[in-house]
Chains A and B, each alone.
Chain A
Amino acid sequence: MICDDDAGILEMMEMIMDEYGFDVITQANSLNVLQGLQQEKPDLLLLDIWMPLLSGDQVLKNIKADVQFNKLPVIMYSASSEGRSIAENAGADDYIDKPFDMNELEVKIRQLIV
Chain B
Amino acid sequence: MSFAIKHNNPDPALLVKVLEAANTGVVITDNLLPDNPIIYCNPAFEQLSGYSRDEIIGRNCRFLQSSDRSQQARFDIRAAIDAGENCVVQVRNYTKTGVLFHNELYLSAVKNESGEVTNFIGIQNDVSARVKAEQDLEQNYRETEQTVIDRTNMLRESEEYLSSIVETIRESLIVMDKEYKVLSVNNHFLSTFKVSINETKGRLLYELGNGQWNIPELKKMMEDILPTNNPVLDYEVEHEFPHIGRKLMLLNAHRVELEGKFKDRILLAIEDITERRNIEQRKDDFLSIASHELKTPLTTVVGYVQMMQRLMPEQASDKFRSVVGKTEMYVERLNQLLTELLDVSRIQSGNIELHKDLFDFDKMVAEAVEGIQTATPKYQISLKGKAGTQYFGDESHLTQVLTNLISNGIKYAPDADEVEVYVSRVSNFIKVSVKDFGMGIKEDERKKIFERFYRVGAIQKNFPGMGIGLYICDQIIKNHNGSFWVESELGKGSVFSFTLPVDQDGREVDHA
Using a CB–CB cutoff of 8 Å, the interface residues on chain A facing chain B are: 6, 8-9, 11-13, 15-16, 19, 50, 79-82, 84-85, 98-103
Residue-wise, chain B 270-293 has the 8 Å CB interface mask toward A (1 for contact) of: 000000000000000000000010
A29 to chain B, nearest CB (A): 17
**Contact residues in B for A103 (Cβ distance below 8 Å):** 306
Is there contact, CB below 8 Å, between A100 and B299? yes
User: In the bound complex, what is the Cα–Cα distance between A13 and B307 (angstroms)?
Assistant: 10
Does B335 have its Cβ within 8 Å of any Cβ on chain A?
Answer: yes
B263 to chain A, nearest CB (A): 54
Does B198 have its Cβ within 8 Å of any Cβ on chain A?
Answer: no
Secondary structure class of chain B's binding surface, majority of residues? helix
User: In the bound complex, what is the Cα–Cα distance between A98 and B295 (angstroms)?
Assistant: 7
User: In the bound complex, what is the Cα–Cα distance between A110 and B302 (angstroms)?
Assistant: 21
Q: Which residue of A lies closest to B352 (CB)?
A: A81
Q: Which residue of A lies closest to B311 (CB)?
A: A19
The verdict on A99 contacting B335 (CB below 8 Å), with A12-B300, A12-B304, A81-B346 known, is yes
Residue-wise, chain B 313-350 has the 8 Å CB interface mask toward A (1 for contact) of: 00000000000000000000001001000110010000
The verdict on A98 contacting B310 (CB below 8 Å), with A12-B304, A79-B292, A80-B292 known, is no
The verdict on A99 contacting B311 (CB below 8 Å), with A79-B342, A81-B353 known, is no
Is there contact, CB below 8 Å, between B353 and A82? yes
User: In the bound complex, what is the Cα–Cα distance between A19 and B310 (angstroms)?
Assistant: 9
Is there contact, CB below 8 Å, between B299 and A9? yes
Is there contact, CB below 8 Å, between B353 and A50? no
**Contact residues in A for B310 (Cβ distance below 8 Å):** 19, 102
Query: What are 19 of the A-B contact pairs (CB < 8 Å)?
Result: A6-B296, A8-B297, A8-B300, A9-B296, A9-B300, A12-B300, A12-B304, A12-B307, A15-B307, A16-B306, A79-B299, A81-B346, A85-B353, A98-B295, A98-B296, A99-B335, A100-B302, A101-B306, A102-B310
A90 to chain B, nearest CB (A): 16
Does B351 have its Cβ within 8 Å of any Cβ on chain A?
Answer: yes
Is there contact, CB below 8 Å, between A102 and B303? yes
**Contact residues in A for B343 (Cβ distance below 8 Å):** 81
The verdict on A50 contacting B298 (CB below 8 Å), with A79-B342, A82-B351, A85-B353 known, is no
Q: Which residue of B lies closest to A48 (CB)?
A: B296
Q: Which residue of A lies closest to B294 (CB)?
A: A79
The verdict on A79 contacting B351 (CB below 8 Å), with A16-B303, A19-B307 known, is no
A49 to chain B, nearest CB (A): 11
A35 to chain B, nearest CB (A): 25
Additional 6 contacts, C-beta under 8 A, given A85-B353, A99-B298: A13-B303, A16-B306, A16-B307, A19-B310, A84-B355, A99-B303
The contact of B295 among A12, A13, A19, A99, by CB within 8 Å, is A99
**Contact residues in A for B299 (Cβ distance below 8 Å):** 9, 12, 79, 98-100
B510 to chain A, nearest CB (A): 21
User: In the bound complex, what is the Cα–Cα distance between A66 and B447 (angstroms)?
Assistant: 56
User: In the bound complex, what is the Cα–Cα distance between A9 and B295 (angstroms)?
Assistant: 11
**Contact residues in A for B335 (Cβ distance below 8 Å):** 99
| Among B295, B298, B301, B355: residue with most chain A CB under 10 A | B295
Q: Which residue of A lies closest to B310 (CB)?
A: A19
**Contact residues in A for B351 (Cβ distance below 8 Å):** 82
User: In the bound complex, what is the Cα–Cα distance between A62 and B300 (angstroms)?
Assistant: 28
**Contact residues in B for A9 (Cβ distance below 8 Å):** 296, 299-300, 303
| Among A6, A12, A13, A15: residue with most chain B CB under 10 A | A12
User: In the bound complex, what is the Cα–Cα distance between A81 and B307 (angstroms)?
Assistant: 25
**Contact residues in B for A85 (Cβ distance below 8 Å):** 353
B213 to chain A, nearest CB (A): 39
**Contact residues in B for A8 (Cβ distance below 8 Å):** 296-297, 300
The contact of B303 among A50, A79, A100, by CB within 8 Å, is A100
User: In the bound complex, what is the Cα–Cα distance between A6 and B311 (angstroms)?
Assistant: 24
**Contact residues in A for B303 (Cβ distance below 8 Å):** 9, 12-13, 16, 99-100, 102
**Contact residues in B for A13 (Cβ distance below 8 Å):** 303
User: In the bound complex, what is the Cα–Cα distance between A56 and B32 (angstroms)?
Assistant: 136
